Amino acid sequence: MSAFDYDLVVIGSGPAGQRAAIQAAKLGKRVLVIERQSVVGGICINTGTIPSKTLREAVMHLSGYRERGIYGSSYTVKQHITMPDLHFRTDHVIRHEIDVTRHQLQRNRIELAVGNARFVDPHTVAMEDATGRGTRNVSAGKIIIAVGTMATRDKNIPFDGQRILISDDILTLKDLPRTMTVVGAGVIGLEYATIFAALGVRVTVIDKRSHLLPFVDREITSHLAHHMQQNRATLRLGEEVSRLELMDDDKGSRVKVILASGKQIITDKALYSIGRTGATGPLNLPAAGINADDRGRLKVNENLQTNVPHVYAVGDVIGFPSLASTSMEQGRLAACHAFNTKADCTPSLFPYGIYTIPEISTVGRNEEELTEAGIPYEVGKAHYKEIARGQILGDTTGLLKLIFHHETRELLGVHIIGEDAAELIHIGQAVMAHKGTLDYFVNTVFNYPTLAECYKTAAFDGINRLG
């Protein structure tokens, strides 16, 4: 008999925690998942990934955005789109995903407890009942921290949830604004900025950095900036916000955004999206011998172990890239390592999906990274407007870009902006996993008409560039 109540306790039921728990259960381990909310799925299902992507899809449909390339910029499926219109689809998907997640835990015989968790010692977690009726101590041989993050708040900003918002507040908006200012041009900020711009909202984006998404290929982000400006979005890059003020006048309740440069922006809503903070505050980490950084994040080694070897941390709480897909894989890998099960993984081939409008996806290295590393490369490009499927869909602005070694032709990176980018990326990912070359695409027959043909067109373009 084990000296512990459980083989594994997982704190948090988001993508990382869920995948870790299921992997351990598949290995025959006794698993407890502690979730502080009354519903499973964490930020991903309830306020983050799933809601924002569903909201995006509702906007793309109701606004007629995808068909505007064919029917004109005034085309729309619904003339007057309201927030309840958008919430209808979002609420449906959230309920379904919660049910699926709970069922997955049940059928793998994983115990689920609702309550607040905090460490008592390195192997013991106190679980306070969410109703406040009592506390139960549980011990475990291994513990995985998967508590995720929460939106970072500046204590000097008067957040009210309706005029000055964090991303979680988007789902509670009652009315569609005429103007919106987004402070912070990270992934979340840009996703919401482009979603609202597609609805005709006049959007302003402010960020201290000189260009968008520094980890993405510069040519791709330049295309994104162009598309945003075509949708009447204003980009104020290299600018810093001094303060935000709530204001009421004869024109209504609005927000004044004051920049360090002296500029002032009057807007209906202000979305504050300056990063996220690890939700580790309530865990009493020092009792386990663990310390978080100043943003509440945990440092881990290549095996996802904290400085206490039997305590692991996975998902957004350990920082970049903070994607649901990578978090799931981290959960699986941590559980396998905890119970001495071999698991292979190639982090260099983790794809990134950014659901802006248009969407972006990337895998491998970009031009800037290869230039810095002194690796000789060439590129091949295919524009959606050259592809029959692009014309059929009405997306004539998309771009697929291949980067390959100048001498060996080995594929080094794939970068896409346009419809179905996050789906298309997996073709390039698979080729890169097998050290494939540009010639694979030249010699492969793709269905016609498909966006996948972009790979063949880009490959021929790359070969032509070689001379």
Both tokens of 385, joined, read: 């407007």
Residue that the structure tokens 């997306």 belong to: 395
Cβ burial of 284 (10 Å; 0-12, 13-18, 19+) is middle
Average pLDDT over residues 195-205: 96
pLDDT reading at 31 higher than 60: yes
C-alpha torsion sign, points 186, 191, 196, 200: positive
Give the pLDDT of residue 425: 98
Residue 428: its pLDDT value, please?
Answer: 98
Pairing mode, strands 252-259 and 241-249: antiparallel
> Beta-carbon neighbour count of residue 264 at 10 Å?
11
pLDDT at 4 over 70: yes
Six token digits for residue 7: 């083989």
**Phi, psi at 420, each rounded to 5°:** 60, 25
Distances (CA, A) of 219 to 360, 400, 421: 12, 11, 15
pLDDT at 40 over 80: yes
The domains located in the chain, with CATH, are: 6-151+277-347 (3.50.50.60), 164-274 (3.50.50.60), 358-466 (3.30.390.30)
Rounded to whole angstroms, the maximal C-alpha distance in the chain is: 75
Q: What is the pLDDT of residue 15?
A: 93
Tokens 């922006």 sit on residue = 265
DSSP state of 2: -
Task: With residue 380 as reference, give the H or E element that holds it.
Answer: strand 377-383
What is the three-class DSSP state of 82? coil
**Amino acid 66: pLDDT:** 86
**Residue 1: its pLDDT value, please?**
54
Which DSSP category does 299 fall into? -
DSSP SS3 for 454: helix
Tell me the per-residue pLDDT of 342-370, one tens digit each, with 9 for 90 and over.
Answer: 998 888 899 999 999 999 999 999 999 99
How many whole angstroms separate alpha carbon 145 and alpha carbon 350? 22
Residue percentage of the chain with pLDDT more than 90: 78
Residue 135, token pair as written in the block: 């506390």
User: Is residue 2 pLDDT above 90, yes or no?
Assistant: no
In DSSP terms, 183 is beta-bridged to 206, 272
The pLDDT assigned to 48 comes to 77
- How many angstroms separate the CA atoms of 301 and 105, rounded? 28
The tokens describing 39, both together, are 């519903």
Give all strands (DSSP E) within 221-376, no chain letters.
234-237, 241-249, 252-259, 264-267, 269-272, 276-278, 311-313, 352-354, 360-364
Q: What is the pLDDT of residue 415?
A: 98
Six-digit token string for 92:
């449906």
Residue with more model confidence, 90 or 374: 374
pLDDT (mean) for 194-211? 96
Q: DSSP letter at 434?
A: T
Percentage of residues in the chain having pLDDT higher than 70: 99
Is 25 in contact with 31 (CB distance < 8 Å)?
yes
Residue 180 has what pLDDT? 97
The DSSP 8-state label assigned to residue 367 in this structure reads: H
Residue 250: pLDDT band (50, 70, 90) is confident
Mean pLDDT of 13-28: 96
Using the predicted structure, report yes or no on whether residue 225 has a pLDDT greater than 70: yes
Q: Is the pLDDT of residue 321 over 90?
A: no
3-state helix, strand, coil in the chain (%, to 5): 35, 25, 35
Give the span between the Cα atoms of 279 and 138, in whole angstroms: 21
Shortest CA distance to 149 belongs to which of 272, 320, 317, 330? Answer: 317
Rg of the Cα trace of the chain? 24
Mean pLDDT value of segment 85-89: 89
| Beta-carbon contacts of residue 132 (< 8 Å; ≥ 6 apart) | none
Binning pLDDT at 50, 70 and 90, where does residue 41 land?
Answer: confident
The yes-or-no verdict on residue 49 having pLDDT over 90 is: no
The whole-number pLDDT of residue 206 equals 98
Nearest to 415 by CA among 390, 448, 381, 441: 381
150-189 pLDDT tens trace: 988 888 999 999 999 999 899 889 889 999 999 999 999 9
pLDDT tens per residue, range 71-85: 888 888 888 899 899
| Mean pLDDT of the chain, nearest integer | 93
Instruction: Give 381-403 pLDDT, tens digit per residue.
Output: 999 999 999 999 989 889 999 99
What integer is the mean pLDDT of 214-236? 96
Answer yes or no: is pLDDT of 303 > 70.
Answer: yes
Residue closest to 410 by CA, chosen among 428, 423, 424, 422 = 428
Q: Which of 66, 74, 112 is nearest to 389 (CA)?
A: 66
Buried b (16+ CB within 10 A) or exposed e, 201-223: bbbbbbbeeeebbeebbebbbeb
